[in-house]
Chain A
Amino acid sequence: MYGLFLRHFYLITRSFPRVLDLVYWPTIQITLWGFISNFFATHTTYYNNAVGVILTCAILYDFLFRTSIGFNMLFLEEIWSRNFTNLFIAPMKIGEILTALVATALIRALIGLIPAVLLTSPLFGISILDLGIFLFFLFLSLYLFGITLGILVSAGLLRYGPSFENIAWSTMFLLAPFGCIYYPIEILPEVFQKIAYLLPLVYIFEEARNILINQTVDIQSIYNAFLWNGVYFVLSIVLFYYSFNVAKNKGTLINMGE
């Protein structure tokens, strides 16, 4: 019995990502639900005239989540199936690998999204299509951010190997409190607001609420979301190439399948 305890104790203490994982989830859950509870306690009438705002934001967030996790899954699948080395010795440029994963992640996300969108109308009498033509821009922006996170996590997997896997699952949850998915940005402490404004998410979800509640469109918010998306997307590509070169120096690519 003590031996089995020791087996897991050694594993946890030898792996920083595992320790981080233990601390990370409770902290994120408490932070996120703390802000949500705080918001509903102080703004009880906020959503009165816009039934479905929460559900719409939930669908938008799920699309982001599916895109990001979908991208990570494609990469992780190759590691789990020990096919990773086969792929990286095939004559494909890094850009071709990324493009293929980006396109496949979109298809995966749409397969999950379409039934959810279709179900909201008969079940709750709500249609996400109420967002009109701007729904396309919001989805496009979320898709860009989702794959950006996917590329960043994949860069981490290349650099650190499979032990980075836990981080792959948790990136979306880390950003959730800052994304202001279910509450307006004002509910965050000032220092958190400053961080939130550096992410495209806050512009996307604030704008979704603005369209549904106020029936107006702030083009500047959509523009800001795309601007930050562009910055992070370029950064993720640069980091992926950098990680690939580091992996070639450190030998991560040849050991990934073992």
Chain B
Amino acid sequence: MKNLVEVKNIKKNYGKNEAVKGISFNIKQDEILGLLGPNGSGKTTTIGMLLGLLKPTSGEIFINGQKLEGNRIEILEQINFISPYIELPKKLTVKQNLTVYGKLYKINNINERIEFLSEKLRLKGLLNSITGELSSGQKNRVSLAKALINEPKVLLLDEPTASLDPEVGDFVRSFLEDYKKEKKISILLASHNMNEVTRLCKSILMMKDGIIIDEGNPEELISKHGRKNLEEVFLKLSRSKNELN
């Protein structure tokens, strides 16, 4: 499978503060890459750069073979993002919100797309509901529908199941697994839920203080660090001094 995301030695400085200190990684087609790290490790900054919301101080990002710098609009047509820190307009109905984003992403068959996503994400009965009046789990599924409205080749997920109850969380994880398999998309998953990362990701990047301090698949990392599970690996690496492989 080819690399849909190629990140080459990107750095991001905010004045004298080096938020990301030159990291490189790839995400293959049909792969979910986990991005782990304590708060302030540079995960959000990295996602911001991949979305074109932040300009790297140096380095290059390629999405589906196209360089992000200079092709931002073309690339944004192929990616999408979900985060608990951003929401859809609360006063609009679910269908209105999805229609607005369908238009913004220049989707031709918006109604068919909404029909398909509402079926898959259990939103059929909610299309005419006011978005702000939905429960956290329902809002999360609506945000996911918005993130898939353009059939993205690359999906960036920042804590996609934060604040969800176990049943909805499990539904979202199963949906993401199935959708990735079916559409052969690349997913970058930033999460603090280690069970989620263990279940969904074949590869993981561990970030701390703006660098990648370790990487591999969950089993490898657990065995390499002599721990019982990924959470213990995370705690060990978060509390240790930075160590490159």
**Residues of A that sit less than 8 Å from B by CB:** 77, 81-93, 245, 248-251, 253-254, 257-258
**Residues of B that sit less than 8 Å from A by CB:** 14, 44-45, 47-48, 51-55, 73-74, 76-77, 79-81, 83, 85-91, 101, 104-106, 146
A89–B81 contact, CB under 8 A?
A: yes
Option from B45, B51, B85, B91 in Cβ contact (under 8 Å) with A89: B51
Chain B residues within 8 Å of A85, by CB: 53, 81, 83, 85-86
Contacts A90-B101, A249-B55, A254-B54 given: A83-B86 contact, CB under 8 Å?
yes
A257–B104 contact, CB under 8 A?
A: no
B80–A81 contact, CB under 8 A?
A: no
Contacts A83-B87, A85-B83, A251-B45 given: A91-B54 contact, CB under 8 Å?
no
B89–A251 contact, CB under 8 A?
A: no
Contacts A86-B101, A86-B146, A91-B76 given: A251-B14 contact, CB under 8 Å?
yes
Chain A residues within 8 Å of B90, by CB: 81
Nearest CB in chain A to that of B13: its residue: A249
A81–B53 contact, CB under 8 A?
A: no
Q: Which 4 A-B pairs have the closest CB atoms?
A: A91-B76, A254-B48, A90-B104, A253-B53
Option from B14, B53, B101 in Cβ contact (under 8 Å) with A88: B53
Chain B residues within 8 Å of A77, by CB: 89
Nearest CB in chain B to that of A251: its residue: B54
A91–B77 contact, CB under 8 A?
A: yes
Option from B44, B77, B79, B88 in Cβ contact (under 8 Å) with A83: B88
Measured CA separation A85–B88 after assembly (Å):
10
Nearest CB in chain A to that of B150: its residue: A91
A89–B73 contact, CB under 8 A?
A: no
Q: List 25 A-B contacts (CB under 8 A).
A: A77-B89, A83-B89, A85-B81, A85-B85, A85-B86, A86-B86, A86-B146, A89-B51, A89-B52, A89-B53, A89-B76, A89-B80, A90-B76, A90-B104, A90-B105, A91-B106, A92-B73, A248-B53, A248-B55, A250-B14, A251-B14, A251-B45, A253-B48, A254-B44, A257-B87
